[in-house]
Structure 1
């Protein structure tokens, strides 16, 4: 497996683990050192942990890991595993010398894959804590796309969902997205095999399909959802990673703009039935000093989210 170009950003490793019988998985983003981080939530049914700690004006502006997990509310236990794994290595905020334990900051988001046919009779032992520790122990600068990590049991409308990644350069700065795609909406234009994200595709990375000749968007206006998930049973979750040296306030704007990438790849998006959550992390110190430069970076963030989301769907079906 070749190294994905997203790791050219540098400063982080990625761990993924799944349980095939349960049909779920976990993805862990591990910065090499505490990384400045912000988050934006757009969906109506999110499941998250440590989100409030990242709000403006608080004590916390950097994190030691970000966790993406299946399992709905049970998947929030994945962050317990990552916290314990980091704490054992004394990675975290240190309020005092040993034996006072450090406090790793591990925000997380979950998606609902509990109705996908896997074996969910786990009793008092949901698999997510152990999966997260397994992901940490196997973290590297490589990733699998499609049916992998947090996207292992995902669905995208009527299609298989999955985990995807994409990267783009904006001058000397790189920005990438790691997305677990599990939306209630469809990633394909109605009546076609063409992804909504087709204008942003690079090098036929998800099949090179374009709208059929004479296709009119008016065909999409009257299209109804051919299915319905209950509230909270969908969600696109993921993270933006950049080597630009950004403040938490700047990263907050990047995460907001990155959410547009979901709308560029899925319709409808940001519904009451979704829990769309995007983190943004800075792992480098390259300059991005003007409002125009930040706007350009945010626009690229939206494009890489759209591409990563569709890559996750494409490779899950391949």
Structure 2
């Protein structure tokens, strides 16, 4: 960057700041206090339903994020051992950057087959991408998918040539709903968050100017979600009300290499936190890419350590485009929504572990079994 360009940017920034600065009654940066959505679930974002199913014998499950119609989408991958399907379709410059559904699944590589069931269900209903409709030619549903490792949790994985994930996805698609279970449910059924039982979490936030951001996450991390020696969630500072116990932020000082309730003996692909952010704000795929990137900081606020070589952390971000952006510079709204996405995702992580219970026959600690 040459000196003239730098001087030009320096001169421009105060002008942008002045245009964006909130008036006495609010403005683009902070129009006033917002609130938790009516259900505190990702489905507070208009135009979304969730399908989920699990198999208690296998100790695994599937969660499907289903927009009412095709939705702009982006993805950000930070973990060192990810497992994904169709994420390349969301790359800038490619033909298709919208989706018909997003899938989060247990089962490691076997769980990628859950997208087969979702694609079949959508295609049978005429939903999917097509350049031009032709008789006898089905559409091509776009169903990006991310998986977590739950193969070593003691469930019966002797499935031979018939892993259950396609069938689980079809079951989940039979009853998509705006209401769904948290904790030991869906993709979080067999999850383990550090040394504690992991699970499926969700949260939402509605801004004062009416934009909604929601998150859903399956927490199966190497890292711990609680401050060492306490029951306080790392995400405690972002808690709304008593949504995950009401303990608030911890005042403990932690040694840089004290990981507390993290997993011992980590293994590649044995850990992963997979999530989807949604908003009703009319953002395009490039905007959503930035939102997904910013949302990754929500994992860093809620899990320690995170994005390790042993995790496969993946975050999708999609827009149902139900609400136009209010007047103001577009990048400021992207920044606001990305910051909110990080906070909402932190809360969703804590909620998933807070709500987790042990499936039949499984032993080990849960958050609610911690002393104190």
Confirm or deny a common fold (TM above 0.5): yes
Task: State which of 348, 354, 368 in structure 2 corresponds to 1:308.
Answer: 348
TM-score by length of 1: 0.95
Deviates more, 1:203-212 or 1:69-78: 203-212
Q: CA deviation at 1:29?
A: 0.8
Per the alignment, residue 73 of structure 1 pairs with: 109
Tell me which residue corresponds to 1:92.
128
* Aligned counterpart in structure 2 of residue 11 of structure 1, from 40, 47, 63: 47
SS in 1 for 2:355: helix
* Among 143, 146, 158, the residue aligned to 1:121: 158
Query: Is 2:340 aligned against 1:291?
Result: no
Q: Select the residue among 263, 266, 280 that pairs with 2:300.
A: 263
- In proportion to residue count, which structure has more strand? 1
The number of residues matched between the two structures is 315
1:246–1:285 CA contact under 8 A, matched in 2:
no
TM (normalized to structure 2)? 0.82
Cα RMSD over matched residues?
Answer: 1.6
Closer/same/farther in 2, CA of residues 125 and 294 from structure 1, 3 Å limit: same
Written as runs of structure 1 = structure 2, the 5 A alignment for 1:1-318 is: 4-95=40-131, 96-170=133-207, 171-210=209-248, 215-217=252-254, 219-223=255-259, 227-288=264-325, 289-317=329-357
Deviation at 1:290, TM superposition (A): 2.2
Gaps of 5+ in 1: none
CA offset at residue 94 of structure 1? 2.7
Q: Secondary structure at the match of 1:229?
A: coil
Distance 1:105 1:238 in 2: 17
- Kindly tell me: are residues 211 and 239 of structure 1, through their superposed partners in 2, closer, same or farther at Cα, counting changes over 3 Å? closer
Q: Deviations over 1:280-303 (max 9, x none)?
A: 010024233521221111000000
Which whole-Å CA distance do the structure 2 matches of 1:177 and 1:158 have between them? 23
Alpha-carbon deviation of 1:143?
1.1
Q: What is the CA-CA distance between 1:211 and the residue it aligns to?
A: 5.5
Bigger mean CA offset, 72-81 vs 88-97: 88-97
* 1:75-117, Cα deviation, whole Å (9 max, x unpaired): 0000001001111111112343221111000000000000001
| C-alpha contact 2:200 2:217 (8 A) present in aligned 1 | yes
Displacement, 1:3?
5.0
Q: How far off its partner does 1:7 sit?
A: 2.3
